[in-house]
């Protein structure tokens, strides 16, 4: 079966690696659902980080923010927005280290994450309006290095 | 077969409930670990599909509670994983999960195959 992604990328090798979502009916329904919930998660994550600037050791905020970024990552991957998912994965990894007490939620790192969230918002806007995510590979690389996260992508 | 999906994300709840019901499964949804445990007690499902990262009791805590209950620890559990969760899956298996499936791949055939495979397992 060829999905529209394979067709637009001139790939007819019979091995479609795109998520099933592109081959199911009601793609626009799932895209709209994705966009709607993504905006919600981004808002929660931004609010969480804003609070962490003031109370960096608040475990509840760290955990709630971690859950939101995890969910955004999972959904993005499911929809085939890999670059968005990979940047979310780096932020999630940093928050996992905050949760486990391996890293402090210091303001410099939080500012970098906040910048990344702006890029993620831009990506979701692009998905909504242009049906395509933006290139986040440089942002992913920079945040991985700043956060000390091993990045295989 | 009655399946309880314990998953906080609306996107995945919607997708998996819709697609599995189309395949003839009876699907129940819980949005967090506490609600999940409550529904396990009341519904006694044939199988549980469990997300690991959730608010109000995560999947690991749910697995721990189940492992301490003589009746409910027999219910096979498939955990949902996603990108970067390899160590979480190993931890879940140590806590009693039967198998896992990557929810981001939306691979229904694989999920259904694993549902049938773990449902045959009688846990002791």
pLDDT tens digits for range A126-145? 999 999 999 999 999 999 99
The angle that helices B59-67 and B33-43 make with each other, rounded to 10 degrees, is 40
Beta bridge partners of B30: B6
Tell me how far apart the alpha carbons of residues A43 and A141 are, in angstroms, rounded to a whole number: 23
For position A25, what pLDDT does the model report? 56
Rounded CA separation B107/A60 (Å)? 33
CB contact under 8 A, B104 and A92: no
**String of b and e for A51-65 (b: at least 16 CB within 10 Å)?**
bbeeebeeeebbbbb
C-alpha distance from A125 to closest chain B C-alpha (Å): 18
> Would the CB atoms of A89 and B83 count as touching at under 8 Å?
yes
Residue B122, min C-alpha distance to chain A (Å): 31
Helices (H) and strands (E) in chain A, counts: 6, 0
Q: What is the pLDDT of residue A20?
A: 55
Please state, rounded to an integer, the average pLDDT across all residues of chain A: 85
The C-alpha R_g of chain B, in whole angstroms, comes to 13
pLDDT band (50, 70, 90) for residue A29: confident
Tell me: pLDDT of A6 over 80. no
- Which residues of B are less than 8 Å from A77 in CB distance? 82-83, 104
Contact A144, A112 (CB under 8 A): no
Percent of chain B at pLDDT exceeding 90: 74
pTM of this prediction?
A: 0.84
Return residues 1-60 of B near A (CB < 8 Å): 8-12, 14-15, 19, 53-55
Q: What is the pLDDT of residue A108?
A: 94
> Which portions of chain B are predicted below pLDDT 50?
124
Task: Express as a percent the part of chain A with pLDDT over 70.
Answer: 81
Q: Find which of B83, B85, B110 to mutate to test the A interface (most A CBs within 10 Å of its CB).
A: B83
Task: With cut-offs at 50, 70 and 90, classify the pLDDT of residue A1.
Answer: very low
pLDDT computed for residue A7 by the predictor: 45
| Nearest CB partner across the interface for A34, out of B11, B54, B108 | B11
Q: Which residues numbered 88-117 in A keep a CB inside 8 Å of some CB on B?
A: 89, 92-93
Closest CA–CA distance from residue A146 to any residue of chain B (Å): 19
Token duo for residue A2: 């060829």
pLDDT value of position B106:
81
């Amino acid at each position: 079966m060829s999905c529209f992604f394979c067709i637009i990328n001139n790939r007819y090798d019979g091995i479609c690696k795109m998520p099933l979502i592109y081959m199911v009916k009601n793609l626009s329904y799932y895209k709209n659902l994705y966009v709607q919930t993504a905006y919600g998660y981004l808002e929660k994550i931004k609010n969480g980080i804003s609070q962490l600037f003031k109370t960096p050791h608040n475990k509840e905020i760290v955990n709630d923010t971690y859950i939101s970024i995890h969910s955004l990552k999972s959904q993005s991957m499911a929809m085939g927005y890999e670059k968005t998912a990979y940047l979310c994965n780096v932020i999630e990894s940093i928050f996992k280290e905050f949760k486990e007490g391996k890293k402090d939620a210091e303001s410099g790192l939080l500012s970098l994450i906040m910048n990344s969230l702006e890029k993620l918002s831009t990506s979701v806007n692009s998905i909504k309006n242009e049906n395509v995510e933006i290139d986040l590979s440089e942002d992913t690389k920079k945040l991985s290095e700043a956060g000390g996260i091993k990045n295989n992508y | 077969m009655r399946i309880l999906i314990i998953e906080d994300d609306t996107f995945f709840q919607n997708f998996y409930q819709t697609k599995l019901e189309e395949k003839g499964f009876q699907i129940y949804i819980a949005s967090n670990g506490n609600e999940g445990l409550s529904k396990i007690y009341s519904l006694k499902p044939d199988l549980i599909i469990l997300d690991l990262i959730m608010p109000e009791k995560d999947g690991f805590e749910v697995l721990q509670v189940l492992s301490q209950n003589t009746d409910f620890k027999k219910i096979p559990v498939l955990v949902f994983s996603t990108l970067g969760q390899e160590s979480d899956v190993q931890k879940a298996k140590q806590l009693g999960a039967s198998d896992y499936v990557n929810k981001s791949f939306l691979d229904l055939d694989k999920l259904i195959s694993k549902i049938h495979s773990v449902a045959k397992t009688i846990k002791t």
